[in-house]
Copies of this chain bind each other. A is one copy, B any other.
Amino acid sequence: MAEVAVLGYGTVGSGVVEVIENNRDVISKRCEGLHVKYILDLRDFPGDPYEDRVVHDFDSIINDPEVKIVCETMGGATFAYNYTKACLEAGKSVCTSNKELVEKYGAELSRIAAGHSCSYLFEASVGGGIPLIRTINEALTAEKIERIYGILNGTTNYILYRMETAGLDFKAALCEAQEFGYAEKDPTADIEGHDPCRKIAILASLVTGKKVDYTKILMEGIKDLSIKDIEYAKAAGMCIKLIAMSEFKNGGCYCMVSPRLIAASNPLSIVKDVFNAVLIHSDMLDDSMYYGRGAGKLATASAVVGDAVECANNIGKTVFCGWSEEEAQLADIDDLEQSYFVRVKDEAAGAFKAAVKTKDCVLEGIAEGEKGYFTESMTEGGFKKAIADLDGVIGYIRM
């Protein structure tokens, strides 16, 4: 039986305890078994079935040689960083759902783990319960990964889905998401794209083996999307998804988070509600897709516990999951080729079509005084330059 400490008894932390207790049978078939010895939290939890395990000081955990595995479910990058580092330096493996910490300090923490014969695992930090990190790190090991392309944020997917299916505008859909607890009171990290941006940075770091800095990724959220945009997408037989993508080519790594038009034939088009899904394109396997709950207490906790099982099976050893501290040079996103859907005022149509190569298909009748055009494939830089001086471009969505 491996003794486990859980840092932070919030949503995910209490989920971790629940998964370990409720699925004791299956877990003990897959490792020597897990037992929660400590739960670290500032608060008391009178009446909680595990209140006797709650401790308030970190020292009792770090000084207990019986504790071999620590589940860090505190969030944030300050205390969590100090505690994680201390645990790894003491040879205790750490499993986490903390994407902020992984994105910022993953390189350093995985190096420390390797130096102390323990592991730093973070399956839950991207895609909740969907085994994305393990797939990249342990399954597709004979593959050159060429593109990762997916829906990595459930909140925004829910909002877009409700705009599409219920005709709600952005604000109404956001309110609904908040009512259901899918969106935070301060929804910035989701709707502006910080959350999926951190996640794609983690996946791109894994693929390149170098640290991808999320603050350098072009990031556009969904808050400027209108119901008219959704109607255009529908008229084209498509839908709009917030896509986090990373493309690896010519030695470079292009990363971007932005709304995109997705064709009905694309498997990502069926990703409804708060679900997440990621398409990985690799050289031998071609497209593969991984779909499931990208958030939620139990789905996320289950991934943390899955990592804990792997740590329990590798006590005294390192399961390496990480990248070097060297920063990955992101390729210039202006060089990335893609096509665009562009809404243009009727009076600007001539100037627009003179500046940008468009396809024959035109969408009209969705909103008065404008039409929607699909461009040929062109570079991001070329497109932006072409429309820079044009009046009458209402907006655009990448494809």
Residue numbers in B under 8 Å from A308 (CB-CB): 142
Residue numbers in B under 8 Å from A287 (CB-CB): 291-293
Given known A-B contacts A19-B142, A31-B141, A291-B291, A285 and B298 have beta carbons under 8 A apart: yes
A23: contacting residue among B19, B143, B298, CB under 8 A: B143
Residue numbers in B under 8 Å from A23 (CB-CB): 142-144, 283-284
Residue numbers in B under 8 Å from A309 (CB-CB): 141-142
Contacting pair A293 B286 (CB below 8 A): yes
In Å, the complex CA distance between A19 and B141 comes to: 11
In Å, the complex CA distance between A285 and B310 comes to: 18
Residue numbers in B under 8 Å from A301 (CB-CB): 142, 284
Contact with B along A286-320 (1 / 0, CB 8 A): 11111111000011011101101110000000000
CB-contacts of A139-171 with B (<8 A): 139-144
In Å, the complex CA distance between A306 and B139 comes to: 6
Residue numbers in B under 8 Å from A298 (CB-CB): 284-285
Residue numbers in B under 8 Å from A123 (CB-CB): 139
Contacting pair A302 B142 (CB below 8 A): yes
Residue numbers in B under 8 Å from A22 (CB-CB): 283
Contacting pair B286 A289 (CB below 8 A): no
Contacting pair A302 B129 (CB below 8 A): no
Contacting pair A139 B144 (CB below 8 A): no
In Å, the complex CA distance between A23 and B144 comes to: 7
Contacting pair B286 A141 (CB below 8 A): no
A1 at the interface (CB under 8 A from B): no
CB-contacts of A64-96 with B (<8 A): none
Residue numbers in B under 8 Å from A31 (CB-CB): 141
A209 at the interface (CB under 8 A from B): yes
A143: contacting residue among B143, B272, B302, CB under 8 A: B302
The minimal Cβ–Cβ distance linking A320 to chain B, given in whole angstroms, is 10
Residue numbers in B under 8 Å from A282 (CB-CB): 302
The minimal Cβ–Cβ distance linking A4 to chain B, given in whole angstroms, is 12
A43 at the interface (CB under 8 A from B): no
Contacting pair B286 A288 (CB below 8 A): no
CB-contacts of A176-226 with B (<8 A): 209
Segment of A48-56, A130-138, A335-343, A348-356 in the binding face: A130-138
The minimal Cβ–Cβ distance linking A77 to chain B, given in whole angstroms, is 26
A141: contacting residue among B130, B292, B293, B306, CB under 8 A: B306
Q: Which residue of B lies closest to A279 (CB)?
A: B291
Contacting pair B134 A138 (CB below 8 A): yes
A329 at the interface (CB under 8 A from B): no
A267 at the interface (CB under 8 A from B): yes
A135: contacting residue among B20, B131, B142, B310, CB under 8 A: B131
CB-contacts of A267-288 with B (<8 A): 267, 269-270, 272, 277, 282-288
Would you list 23 pairs from A and B whose C-beta atoms are within 8 A, ordered by A residue?
A19-B142, A20-B142, A22-B283, A23-B143, A123-B139, A134-B139, A142-B303, A142-B306, A142-B309, A265-B272, A267-B267, A267-B270, A284-B298, A285-B293, A285-B298, A285-B299, A286-B299, A287-B292, A288-B290, A288-B292, A288-B293, A289-B291, A291-B291
Residues of A within 8 A of B (CB): 19-20, 22-23, 25-27, 29-31, 123, 129-131, 134-135, 138-144, 209, 265, 267, 269-270, 272, 277, 282-293, 298-299, 301-303, 305-306, 308-310
| Minimum-distance CB pairs A-B, first 7 | A288-B292, A131-B139, A142-B305, A284-B302, A289-B291, A129-B285, A141-B309
